[in-house]
Structure 1
Amino acid sequence: MKKKIGYTTGVFDMFHIGHLNILKKAKEKCDYLIVGVSTDELVEKYKNKNTIVNYEERKAILEAIKYVDKVVPQENRDKYAAYEQYGFHIMFVGDDWKGNDLFLEIENKFNKVGVEVVYFAYTAGTSSTVLREKLDKIK
């Protein structure tokens, strides 16, 4: 039987229960989970902010999680290029991206090559943005 390879990406800054929930749900739907971690440069470029935890430390955290089989750098947002490089069968995405132009386009491309896109609901009330806001209030 052929292994089902899954792929997801994220910044994974200030690792929290929402991150863990997504990784756990993803691993339940595939045999081998590859996680792309956004580099510090990519985060600065598209989010226009710096990470709290640097790339190497975020990568090390993810490598220690039992649901994750491989961690790779995400140096750009081209999901199709990632597919060509890693050959995954299913991609997991947070549902806040559903309907976004970037993902509507990638869904169309993935449909042509048989890659499934699965959207997961984010854990309510928990995000790195919420944690940043709480930290700012403490200051």
Structure 2
Amino acid sequence: MRVITFGTYDIFHVGHVNIIERARLHGDHLIVGVSSDKLNIAKKGRPPIYCEDDRQHIIRSMRCVDEVFLEESLELKADYIKYYNADILVMGDDWQGKFDHLKDICQVIYLPRTPSVSTTEIIEVVKTKRL
């Protein structure tokens, strides 16, 4: 079974590791789409801390990941699923229900996120930390 998942993976943390490793448990080939810098700005209103090339390199270095590609648009999820012949789409449960329309082309699984870990929260802590 071929599994596909997507994310920004900025300021890589244990929550990212957990969801990627758990996604892999659903198949024998894991494909990861990393949001482009341009897509991240559109989604979050800010550029990522690390550039798209560095973020792809980080994800590619994980032994459970077989393929990495740059995700250019949220609207192209179905195209990416078809192009990579994915059987299963895995996303964090913060996206619960948002990709159910893709159930006609693949199985859709929402996994619980790691509690108390988020890139946005880490960035806020770093910004407000006083030495």
Query: What is the distance in 2 between the residues matched to 1:84 and 1:61?
Result: 25
Structure 2: runs of 5+ lacking an equivalent: none
Query: What is the distance in 2 between the residues matched to 1:107 and 1:43?
Result: 22
Structure 1: runs of 5+ lacking an equivalent: none
Q: Pick from 8, 26, 29 the counterpart of residue 11 of structure 1.
A: 8
Query: What is the distance in 1 between the residues matched to 2:3 and 2:61?
Result: 18
2:107 paired residue number: 116
1:128 paired residue number: 119
Q: Is the deviation greater in 127-136 or in 78-87?
A: 78-87
Query: What is the distance in 1 between the residues matched to 2:103 and 2:66?
Result: 25
Identity of matched residues, %? 32
2:36 paired residue number: 39
CA apart distance, 1:14: 0.3
1:91 paired residue number: 89
CA apart distance, 1:111: 2.7
CA apart distance, 1:45: 1.5
The Cα offsets for residues 53-101 of structure 1, whole Å up to 9 and x where unpaired, read as 11111111111101111000000012111112111000001101113xx
Query: What is the distance in 2 between the residues matched to 1:86 and 1:47?
Result: 26
Q: Secondary structure at the match of 2:33?
A: strand
Q: Secondary structure at the match of 2:103?
A: helix
Which has the larger share of helix?
A: 1
1:79 paired residue number: 77
Give runs of ≥4 in structure 1 deviating > 2 Å: 110-113
Query: What is the distance in 2 between the residues matched to 1:14 and 1:46?
Result: 16
- TM-score normalised per structure 2: 0.94
RMSD across aligned positions (CA): 1.1
Query: What is the distance in 1 between the residues matched to 2:116 and 2:93?
Result: 14
1:107 paired residue number: 100
Query: What is the distance in 2 between the residues matched to 1:65 and 1:47?
Result: 25
Letter paired with 1:85: Y
Query: What is the distance in 2 between the residues matched to 1:63 and 1:45?
Result: 24
